[in-house]
Amino acid sequence: MKTAPSISSIISPGYIAHFVISNYSFDDSTTCNLLRTGINHTYLVTVTNKKFIFRIYHLNWRTENEINEELKLLDFLKDNKLLVSYPIKDKHDKYVQHLQAIEGNRFGVLFSYAEGETIRKPSEKVCFNFGLAMAKLHQLTINKKTTRKIHNADSLVGWAIKKVISKFPESINEIAYFKRAYKIISSEFENTNNLRKGIVHLDLWHDNMKVKNETEVTMFDFDNCGDGLLCLDIGYSLMLFYRNDPNKERFLKRKNSFLNGYESITEISNEEKKLIPFGGLAIWLHYTGQHVQRFNDFANHFLSDEFLKYWIDTVDKWMRFNDIKI
């Protein structure tokens, strides 16, 4: 009897426990629990009193070279004392593992565990230290490049429009918004030769960092990293602050604390500050494209006509807050 094909299996946590015991020489008491099934699958590995994260990449989501570029960046950041969840080599001195799932070969990587809390609505002190941590990240990645994607108006929004049109009628208002936004973002990003560029995270929000004692901010999940304007990270993070608590007074306090933290390390030019709202807009729209791209194995339980309306309305509120009409 033939085995039915799969597009995305969930590998048994028990299998992962045995896998890391064998490949990393962990103690036989090692346990593994599934933490999250999302764009990738994330497992919590516990060895006595120490924790690790084992990420299994979805089939064909990233090439091995793209993963190695992510891991090379994390090693560089760790070596320069930035708090990140970093990759761990196996007993054969390898980072990237190959797991033969039902659907095909999937890559896996063991990461250090980020200590602390996930804070959805951070205090002003946390915002300051998050800004400080991001500035340190950007100080290290400025003018550096990867062999991964270059994040610009075309790759972020132009690509997303094509994906969304393949799923939704081109005549709806949300597609019209997408097209207007793409045109405006392309224009705003056109003359940026003098702005800071380097390697960006592209997904820095509360779900991808842990905070300890309000001062230690550990960043992780660099799965979307690539080359681009450094102000993209600033724009997306501030937009997520606003989305999670759109109270104007509280947001402005968080924003100012974040910017004060960032600029205690390195200055943000007025030209970059002008692009901050558009950075949030561009990345938010980009992830709509990812939702469509990964509909069959990730977004099918939420992506709908109503969700698209909500998604566009959310980012439009951010732009209107910044007195920008799309």
CATH number of the domain to which 190 belongs: 3.90.1200.10
Confidence of residue 18 (pLDDT cuts 50, 70, 90): very high
Both 278 and 169 in a single domain?
yes
Both 106 and 131 in a single domain?
no
Q: What is the extent of the structural domain holding 44?
A: 13-112
Q: Is residue 5 part of a domain?
A: no
Q: Is residue 119 part of a domain?
A: no
| pTM of the predicted structure, to 2 decimals | 0.96
The CA distance from 102 to 10, in Å, is 9
The structural domain count of the chain equals 2
Q: Are the C-beta atoms of 32 and 41 separated by less than 8 Å?
A: no
Q: Are the C-beta atoms of 265 and 139 separated by less than 8 Å?
A: yes
Give the pLDDT confidence score for residue 286 in this predicted structure.
98
Both 201 and 308 in a single domain?
yes
Q: What are phi and psi of 99, to 5 degrees?
A: -120, 125
The CA distance from 102 to 7, in Å, is 8
CATH assignment of the domain containing 36: 3.30.200.20
Give the pLDDT confidence score for residue 263 in this predicted structure.
98
Tell me: the pLDDT tens digits for 147-166? 999 999 999 999 999 999 99
Both 227 and 312 in a single domain?
yes
Q: What is the dihedral of CA 106, 111, 113, 114, to 10 degrees?
A: -100
Confidence of residue 217 (pLDDT cuts 50, 70, 90): very high
Give the pLDDT confidence score for residue 120 in this predicted structure.
93
Coil, strand or helix: which one is 306?
Answer: helix
Both 61 and 18 in a single domain?
yes
Q: Are the C-beta atoms of 257 and 124 separated by less than 8 Å?
A: yes
Both 139 and 223 in a single domain?
yes
